[in-house]
Amino acid sequence: MKASFAMSMVLAALSAATVATSAAAAEATVFKQPRFAGAQLTLRRDAANLAGAGFQDQISSIVVRSGRWQFCAQPDFNGDCIVLGPGRYAELAQDMNHRIESAREVGRYAAGDRGRRYAGNGFGPRAPDASRASVELFPGTRFHGAGLALDHDVDALDPRLLERGVSSLVVRDGRWQACTRPGFQGRCVVFDPGEYADLGPLDRRVASIRRVG
């Protein structure tokens, strides 16, 4: 009886480990032609530049088997981006078809990834202040106007909270991704801890924001 019970416990532990491993894994396959035709490439880790695999600006359909994946129109996860969960995507929207150049699993970012930076207009980090909320959004450049403090993801920013949009922000803790469309889609930028006095191409266009690190 004891031996049987011990064996049951071992099997249960092995089963739990298998489930945990499966949950942690992420996999997506991209195809050069619509409806899952043509050459294919299976991704199990970040691909900062698909040119080396011969898939730069070539992807027309995608199967996401596990995890949530971000596909971007420029290398290093820049440019227009979409996030796809598990499913079969037989055709891509025109704005992403044959435009994808990088892909990564959402929620797992390489330690060396510093996100996007734009030169000029004061668009760059200064020393963070960790005494308040994780991120704070401001309607004016250089942190002018009443700020909106956040400690949670917002998949659709209510325009009534910041009627003039977002023109500057402060990240005090973690790394935050701001996107021009609801649901963390459109053009996305990842901000490290710091103060960003001018959002450059994202000025007044932020529609969603979430913590990614």
- Total-model pTM: 0.46
Sheet strand arrangement including 194-196: 148-150, 135-138, 168-171, 194-196
pLDDT value for 29: 96
Residue 175 to residue 181: CA distance in whole angstroms = 19
Contact 20, 33 (CB under 8 A): no
- Distance (Å, whole) CA 62 – CA 189: 23
Specify which residues 181 forms β-bridges with: 185
3-state secondary structure of 27: strand
Does residue 114 surpass a pLDDT of 60?
no
Most trustworthy range by pLDDT among 11-15, 39-43, 141-145, 164-168: 39-43
Q: Set out the domains of the chain in order of their start, with CATH numbers.
A: 26-105 (2.60.20.10), 135-211 (2.60.20.10)
Name the more confident of 27 and 115.
27
Q: For the segment 121-149, what is each residue's pLDDT rounded down to a tens digit?
A: 233 444 333 345 788 888 888 888 877 88
If one compares 92 and 130, the residue with the highest pLDDT of the two is: 92
